[in-house]
Structure 1
């Protein structure tokens, strides 16, 4: 492991509050601080948006009155139950949303990276519909947007970005109906976007600087649009895919992105630092297809999580479990 840089807060350099940035709060670690301390750390660093992966009562209680906007997942294990029963959807909303009136809910993600082969895939859109109806019934239907979070593996074609198209298997399983739901309700599509995985699986064709936002000029020319980084290319491939199936007005929110510091291909602290620094500076600018439109983005993750596997999955955090930042963006 490389030595950690001097410990300072990230706020002054990253300017998170101005950059449409949120941070995912994963909890797969046995050495993480309690939720009240985590919320205090978010506030201390001006992290104004959070994603959590289940409606944990202790986390929701800690968020009360914090003014942090929340992306809350309805876990995949609950999809079939919520899809099959409007009463269960109403109960879920009353327990996890309506009873926490001092929490600023922004999105509810119904399922995360559901695959066409998953037994519960057919329940995803009915669950979205039931949760939407439950929110409407308690007057929160316009305030809290219902959506789902997909992986970029849902793309059947991604190169060049203008040829982006969703896999027929994903469309048939749930994505076609999910996009219709998003269009009807004015909700964004959440996508977990990881240039790290694209690079590590295709090192023979993708250069590291293209994945880290450090390429000197255009790497991929796609008609009139030039791409200097892989993040933009993936996003615009997704926008092209949406256009091809009736979702041209659907916005994309990047619900996860990051770079690990250990355990895998080019997983150094310096590369993690480079990725996050350049990401935060870049997302204010939009993509070649959507220039000037800031990209709402959630960094994965807040902490290193020691109970994840394989090994590289343990090292995505901005912070160590002792609440110290892993790197400083001003000095070495």
Structure 2
């Protein structure tokens, strides 16, 4: 029997990779897409004829109810959010509404219109923020350091409460940083690889960044969506840290990216205080032992491969005549 899946945030990095995965597995895939004057579907244009897009917004309950009624899902993947930490400082109320309360709206829609559906919630390593122990596990206490982080904590606990109160199959994936050539340009990793490509092609002569000492556990988004799917195939719901178990600094990312293009990073990178956040998260390092043991999941793409993949993709974008 063919399964139906509804993905909120289908046009984002993770949504596009997840849609590809589910289509390959024979699912009917529905995607929630906000109504915009110019919808950005560039990440899913290659599969857009294979999915059914439904208009909706995490800030609007009736649209979510309708999306559930239309898709009749066996599985719901809530990936939609205001997902940029930097923006959350400028738009804290909007972030709280969409990234936090939006989760409750999704859960309410599922509870009333598809109570037997299995639900995945995109939780985040940013919930750990000012880390209380290293590495971080499913038992590590949360200490968020941004409006995005505390909105994600709200969403996480909403899922736990709905799971325990209504016996719903809801799993939280506590995903550490995961990147790809489809990463938004506002994220530091993509900002770096795009900057490298621009400098290589003579379109820029510097790259301005914030804290080069911040360390993150970086993996490949294409690997991480497999973990999302695996969580909903388990007999019992649960919460899982999804990470590589390795940490690297922003400077390491910079060095590898510039080296891939044959450039000396120190000639081009400028540290700009305006890109340093009000409350910085200095170190994130996940322990994916539970995911490996229960889900049989482990990352395939290594850090160096990931950086080079992203640089190569951005260099390719700028091939041809100088602009």
- Give the TM-score range, shorter chain: 0.3 to 0.5
Normalization by structure 1: what TM-score? 0.39
TM-score norm. by structure 2 comes to 0.40
Instruction: Give the helix-richer structure, 1 or 2.
Output: 2
Higher relative contact order at CA 8 Å, sep ≥6: structure 1 or structure 2? 1
